[in-house]
Amino acid sequence: MKVLFAGSAFDRIKGSFLSLFDGMEVSIARDNEIDEALPWAEVLVTAPRALDEEFLARAVSLKLIQQWGTGIEGIDLKACSKRGITVCNVPSRGTGNAESVAEIALLLMLLLARRFPRAQENLLKIGRVHAPKGIALWKRKACVVGLGGLGQCITERLLCLGMEIVGVNRTVRPEFRAWGIQTVHPLEELEKAVAGADFLVLALPLNEDTANIVDRKILRALGPKGYLVNVARGGLVVREDLEAALDEGEIAGAGLDVFWIEPPDPNDPLLRRSNVVATPHIGGVTDEGLQGVARFIKNNLERFARGEAPLSQVRFPSERGEERS
C-alpha cells in the first residue's frame, strides 16, 4: 500500500512520526510536489486542504484519504463517494489533539485576562512592576461553542479553574449537564447563550451551518468586557465584524490560533493590536498531539490494508438525508 503524506508540514515534522510507519511504502511530498506524486498514491494523508473534483481526477490510484486531524471541510465528500474513495479523520479527544488544543485555548485566555502584551511592555520598556491589573479566570463565565471532543477537553480544564460554563452545540444531549456545564443551548441560540459571558470560546467544526456564525450581532451580545477565543477555524468568524467590534470597543479583545488564510500575513494589522494575542495554529502541535494522531493513523492504515473497516470514517449524506458520521 502506497502512502503519500501530502504537504510541506510533514517534511518539517517527519522526525516526530515517520518511524511509526516503518514497513509501509511511504513518501512525503512538499506542497509543490503533490501534483507529481499524486498518481502514485493509494492512500493520501493530508492536513486541511482543498481536495475537489479536479484534484481527485489526478489521483488515479487513490483508495483512502486519511485526514491528519479532525477538520474535513476542504474534502469534496460527494466526489470521493462517487469515486469509491474512503475518507477518514482522527478523533480529537484521546489522541492528544484535543487535549493540546484545549491548552492553547487556556493559554490565549490567560494572556488576554492578564493583559500580557501590556505586561511585556511594562517589563521591557518601562521597568514597571505590579501593573497592569488583569482579571482572574476564577468565577468568570465562559461560553464554549461546540461540545465535541475539543469542547469537552476545554470545559474540563476551565471547570478546574473555578469558571462557570455555558455550552452551545448543534444537538443538546443530557450528558452535557453531567460534565458540570450550567446550561446548554442549541446553535440557533448562540446570541442568547453568549450574553453575560466573559469569554466566547470556539471549538466547533467549520461547515455550511457554522461558517461566519460569529458576526457583529454575536460580538455585540458578548459585550465590551468579553473576549473572543478561536482555536477551531478562522471561517467561523466574520473577520470584518471582528475588526469593527475591536475598533468600536464592542468587545475587550481576541485570542486567535486559527486564521482566515493560513499562514497569515506577518504584516496583518490584526496581529499588531494590543488587545489581540495570537499563535500560528499550533494548538495540536505538541509531542503528545503528533504521536497520538500518528498512532491512530498507523492503526487505521493497517486495518484498511487488512480489508477491515477503518475507524472514524466520514460519509457523504445519502439521498435519504442520512447525517454524516
Query: What is the residue-level pLDDT of the chain in tens, covering all 325 positions?
Result: 899 999 998 999 898 899 999 989 999 999 999 999 999 999 999 988 899 999 999 999 999 999 998 888 889 999 999 999 999 999 989 899 999 999 999 999 999 999 999 999 899 987 789 999 999 999 999 999 999 999 999 999 999 999 999 999 999 998 898 899 999 999 999 999 999 999 999 999 999 999 999 999 999 999 999 999 999 999 999 999 999 999 999 999 999 999 999 999 999 999 999 999 999 999 999 999 999 999 999 999 999 999 999 999 998 775 224 433 2
pLDDT in tens, 243-289: 999 999 999 999 999 999 999 999 999 999 999 999 999 999 999 99
- Taking the alpha carbons of 151, 205, 144, 279 in that order, is the dihedral positive or negative? positive
The grid coordinates of residue 267 equal: 504584516
**Which residue in the list 54, 248, 262, 308 is annotated as catalytic?**
262
Neighbours of 91 (CB within 10 A): 17
In this prediction the pTM is 0.89
281 is catalytic: yes
- Taking the alpha carbons of 241, 251, 140, 271 in that order, is the dihedral positive or negative? positive
For 117, 143, 226, the CA distances from 199, given in Å and listed in that order, are 18, 6, 5
**Which residue in the list 115, 140, 220, 233 is annotated as catalytic?**
233
Taken as a whole, the chain contains a residue count of: 325
Q: What is the C-alpha to C-alpha distance for residues 309 and 109, in angstroms, rounded to an integer? A: 40
How are beta strands 227-230 and 199-202 bridged, if at all?
A: parallel
Domains located in the chain, CATH noted? 2-91+287-305 (3.40.50.720), 97-278 (3.40.50.720)
Which of these, 129, 159, 130, lies nearest to 142 by C-alpha position? 159
239 is catalytic: no
Q: Give the model's pLDDT for residue 318.
A: 54
pLDDT in tens, 48-96: 889 999 999 999 999 999 999 888 888 999 999 999 999 999 998 989 9
